Amino acid sequence: MNIQGLDIEIVEEYKYLGVHLNNKLDWTHNTDALYKKGQSRLHLLMRLRSFGVCRSLLRTFYDSVVASVIFYAVVCWSCGSSERERKRLNKLVRRAGSLLDCSLDSIDEVGEKRMLAKLTSIMDTPSHPLHETVGGLKQLLQQQTVTPTV
């Protein structure tokens, strides 16, 4: 393939900014990598708990070391990943929750919260390239968040 006179190699998989992309646009390889990293970090959390570390420090460790890996670039892949892939990562989240004795947000919940935060940021930043494109969604978004569901 050639773009503006430059030869571009066509590859099946590519890792860009820590996100595994492939030519099929499925997220299996990315999910596998996140699961593997998350599992090793979860093991560290279990070890810390076995040493009697207090819950607040365990939660800080989870947020900064475990969750940061599991939820890395969740805005990019959460909607495109399969139910099986999300269940697999949610299993890690539930295990962490049982270690911390609390309920933690699932992949879907974190993905939705971060997408809404990003969308709000774009709508509130007039210089953002997508501001004009999504600007009309602000009122709709405000109506949906204010209107209680029964």
* pLDDT tens digit sequence for 51-63: 999 999 999 999 9
Q: Which is it for strands 2-3 and 6-7: parallel, antiparallel or unpaired?
A: antiparallel
Average pLDDT, the chain: 90
Mean pLDDT of 42-69: 96
What's the pLDDT at 53? 94
Q: Which domain holds residue 66?
A: 11-146
Does residue 16 lie within any of the structural domains? yes
Does residue 21 lie within any of the structural domains? yes
Q: Which of these, 77, 66, 68, lies nearest to 31 by C-alpha position?
A: 77
From CA 105, how far away is CA 42, in angstroms rounded? Answer: 16
Does residue 5 lie within any of the structural domains? no
What's the pLDDT at 132? 84
Main-chain dihedrals φ then ψ at residue 71, nearest 5 degrees: -100, 15
Does residue 1 lie within any of the structural domains? no
What's the pLDDT at 88? 96
For 87-134, how does the pLDDT look when each residue is reduced to its tens digit (9 = 90+)?
999 999 999 999 999 999 999 999 999 998 998 888 888 899 988 888
Cα 27 to the chain's mean position, in Å?
12
Contact 108, 86 (CB under 8 A): yes
Does residue 4 lie within any of the structural domains? no
Alpha helices in 13-54 (DSSP H): 28-50
CA angle 124, 133, 79 (to 5 degrees): 90
State the pLDDT confidence band at 47, using cuts at 50, 70 and 90.
very high
What's the pLDDT at 144? 65
From CA 70, how far away is CA 39, in angstroms rounded? Answer: 9
Does residue 122 lie within any of the structural domains? yes
Does residue 29 lie within any of the structural domains? yes
E strands of the chain, at which residues?
Answer: 2-3, 6-7, 13-16, 19-22
| Beta-ladder partners of 22 | 13
For residue 53, give every residue at least 6 positions away whose Cβ sits within 8 Å of its Cβ, in sequence order, or none: 61
Does residue 103 lie within any of the structural domains? yes
- Tally of structural domains, the chain: 1
